[in-house]
């Protein structure tokens, strides 16, 4: 049985040309980018070139781009860094319950540790944010930080960041956007979006895991999380990961160059998947915003009767046994698969959340394998429906 990987929103395979771009830095070009000698200069040049490329791709200045170890670190730095730079003043964070845990858990930590005021923007059952509610939630006499993801990793919803930053201007609120899921899929321009901070992560667009970047607009008050050397212009101490920074820059540039081609390919795959499920008589509901969504993410719920008692990740395990790798978007806590916090926040019951999966496509998936995956999917589901 061939295994079919449809979990590309979790991580993508590393593209062969990206592996190739990394290799010289794992062999002859090994110098520490902070060293003064020729070995260091070679890697310093490569690192700064990578920074310039990322900056160009997102419409920023190179001095506003900082490499991190991940999207999670970039989100943590954005939230904790800004709050810590403003300690002593009344601070409000406005976010949504549909954010990734990298944002939500940072926010909860800040709330507990520093008594930061936290408010959540209301949303509807499709996860669309209520911007009138955002206007109402801005507390006067507070320094506000709004953190809303550019696109949702479970539903694929694209959020109206431009409208959010326009609202933010009325009170000089700072805006952070977690663009981890949209980078490489939507053209990102920090000025058009109007954001002050933005997080991206390489492994979502064919670069390796363990490299991310944060955009920090010049003048944004922010403290560092890592102290030590003067790396990344004092924003992030630790010897730079030149190989993976080069990989991230190349992968971002390439994804932008191939954007339309990849997006129409994955949109076709999404269509084929749904058509094949329908042809095979599987009832389903598509979760999320049907108008504004990323083309490669599909979140589906199935009317599995409650008597099936779906414990943990039963559905995912059954699909895995059939050779299909998909995800529930849930986080595993001490070995117990919890239902997705996003689906629960949309008002689904635990059972319905467990009867849901996220299918996500990449440029490497083919129509044939997606058709085959949907057929196998239908066989598994028919046993449960």
Asked if 95 and 161 count as a contact pair (C-beta separation under 8 A), the reply is: no
For the bound state, the minimum distance from the C-beta of residue 140 to ligand PLP, rounded and expressed in Å, comes to 30
Beta bridge partners of 287: 299
Closest approach of ligand PLP to the CB of residue 296, in Å: 12
Confirm or reject binding of residue 100 to ligand PLP (CB under 6 A): yes
Residue 316 beta carbon to ligand PLP: minimum distance, rounded to whole angstroms: 16
Question: Which run of H or of E encompasses 258?
Answer: none
Check binding of 357 to ligand PLP (CB under 6 A).
no
Query: Binding residue for ligand PLP (CB under 6 A) from 57, 64, 178, 232?
Result: 178
- Number of residues interacting with ligand PLP: please give it, by CB under 6 A: 13
The shares of helix, strand and coil residues in the chain, as percent rounded to the nearest 5, are 45, 15, 40
Point out which span in 81-89, 178-186, 220-228, 338-346 binds ligand PLP (CB under 6 A): 178-186
Closest Cα partner for 83 from 150, 173, 143? 143
Select which of 87, 117, 317, 332 is catalytic.
332
CB-wise, 201 or 245, nearer to ligand PLP?
201
Q: How far is the CB of 74 from ligand PLP (least distance, A)?
A: 8
User: Exposed (0-12), middle (13-18) or buried (19+): which is 351, by Cβ within 10 Å?
Assistant: middle
In whole angstroms, the minimum distance from the beta carbon of 362 to ligand PLP comes to 14
Q: Is 54 in the site for ligand PLP (CB under 6 A)?
A: no
> Minimal distance in Å, beta carbon 244 to ligand PLP?
11
Rule CB under 6 A: is residue 127 a binding residue for ligand PLP? Answer: no
DSSP reduced 3-state for 75: helix
**Of 43 and 68, CB closest to ligand PLP:** 68
CB of 73 to ligand PLP, least distance (A): 7
Q: Are 244 and 210 in contact (CB under 8 A)?
A: yes
Which residue in the shown chain puts its C-beta closest to ligand PLP?
71
Tokens describing residue 157 = 């919803």
Residue of 8, 12, 43, 72 that binds ligand PLP (CB under 6 A)? 72
Nearest to ligand PLP of 75, 369 (CB atom): 75
Q: How far apart are the first and last CA of the chain?
A: 24
Applying CB under 6 A, which part among 64-72, 274-282, 315-323, 338-346 lies near ligand PLP? Answer: 64-72
Tell me the two tokens of residue 8: 């590309």
Are the C-beta atoms of 91 and 116 separated by less than 8 Å? yes
Question: 31 vs 329, which CB is nearer to ligand PLP?
Answer: 329
Segment contacting ligand PLP by CB under 6 A, of 17-25, 71-79, 351-359, 372-380:
71-79
CA-based torsion, 101, 103, 104, 109: positive or negative: positive
Of 92, 181, 241, 340, the residue at the interface with ligand PLP (CB under 6 A) is: 181
Check if 231 is active-site: no
Q: Measured from the CB atom, is 75 or 119 closer to ligand PLP?
A: 75
- Do residues 292 and 185 lie in contact, with contact meaning Cβ atoms separated by under 8 Å? no
By the rule CB under 6 A, 149 interacts with ligand PLP? yes
Q: Which residues pair with 311 in a beta bridge?
A: none
| Closer residue to ligand PLP, CB minimum distance, 205 or 284 | 205
If we measure between CA atoms, which residue out of 227, 220, 201 comes closest to residue 67? 201
Where are the extended beta strands (E) located within 291-375?
297-301, 324-325, 332-333, 336-337, 356-360
Which range, of 68-76, 163-171, 252-260, 327-335, touches ligand PLP by CB under 6 A?
Answer: 68-76
Cα dihedral 209, 189, 343, 144 sign: positive
- Strand locations in the chain (E): 4-5, 65-68, 91-95, 117-120, 143-147, 174-178, 197-201, 212-216, 285-287, 297-301, 324-325, 332-333, 336-337, 356-360
Asked whether position 201 contacts ligand PLP by CB under 6 A, the answer is yes
Residues labelled as active-site residues: 332
Tell me which residues touch ligand PLP (CB under 6 A): 70-72, 75, 100, 102, 149, 153, 178, 180-181, 201, 212
């Amino acid at each position: 049985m061939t295994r079919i990987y449809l979990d590309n929103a979790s991580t993508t395979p590393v593209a062969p040309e990206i592996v190739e771009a990394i290799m010289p830095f794992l062999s002859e070009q090994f110098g520490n980018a902070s060293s003064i000698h020729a070995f260091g200069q070679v890697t310093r040049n490569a690192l700064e070139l990578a920074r310039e490329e990322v900056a160009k791709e997102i419409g920023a200045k190179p001095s506003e781009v900082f490499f991190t170890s991940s999207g999670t670190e970039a989100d943590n730095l954005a939230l904790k860094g800004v709050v810590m730079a403003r300690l002593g003043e009344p601070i409000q964070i406005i976010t949504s319950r549909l954010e990734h845990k990298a944002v939500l858990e940072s926010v909860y930590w800040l709330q507990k540790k520093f008594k930061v005021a936290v408010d959540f923007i209301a949303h509807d059952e499709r996860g669309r944010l209520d911007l009138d509610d955002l206007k109402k939630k801005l507390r006067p006499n507070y320094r506000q930080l709004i953190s809303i993801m550019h696109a949702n990793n479970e539903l694929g919803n694209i959020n109206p960041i431009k409208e959010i930053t326009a609202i933010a201007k009325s009170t000089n609120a700072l805006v952070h956007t977690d663009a981890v899921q949209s980078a490489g899929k939507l053209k990102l321009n920090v000025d058009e979006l109007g954001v002050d901070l933005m997080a991206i992560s390489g492994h979502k667009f064919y670069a390796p895991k363990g490299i991310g970047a944060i955009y920090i607009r010049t003048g944004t008050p922010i403290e560092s999380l890592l102290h030590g050397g003067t790396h990344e212009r004092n924003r992030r101490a630790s010897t730079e990961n030149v190989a993976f920074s080069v990989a991230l820059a190349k992968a971002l540039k390439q994804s932008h160059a191939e954007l339309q081609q990849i997006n129409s390919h994955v949109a076709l795959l999404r269509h084929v998947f749904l058509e094949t499920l329908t042809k095979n008589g599987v009832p389903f509901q598509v979760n999320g915003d049907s108008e504004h969504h990323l083309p490669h993410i599909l979140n589906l719920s199935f009317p599995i009767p409650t008597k099936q008692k779906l414990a943990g990740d039963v559905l995912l395990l059954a699909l895995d046994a059939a050779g299909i790798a998909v995800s529930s978007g849930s986080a595993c806590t001490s070995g117990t698969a919890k239902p997705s916090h996003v689906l629960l926040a949309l008002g689904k019951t635990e059972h319905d959340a467990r009867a849901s999966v996220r299918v996500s496509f990449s440029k490497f998936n083919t129509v044939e394998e997606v058709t085959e995956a949907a057929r196998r999917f239908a066989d598994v589901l028919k046993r449960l429906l």
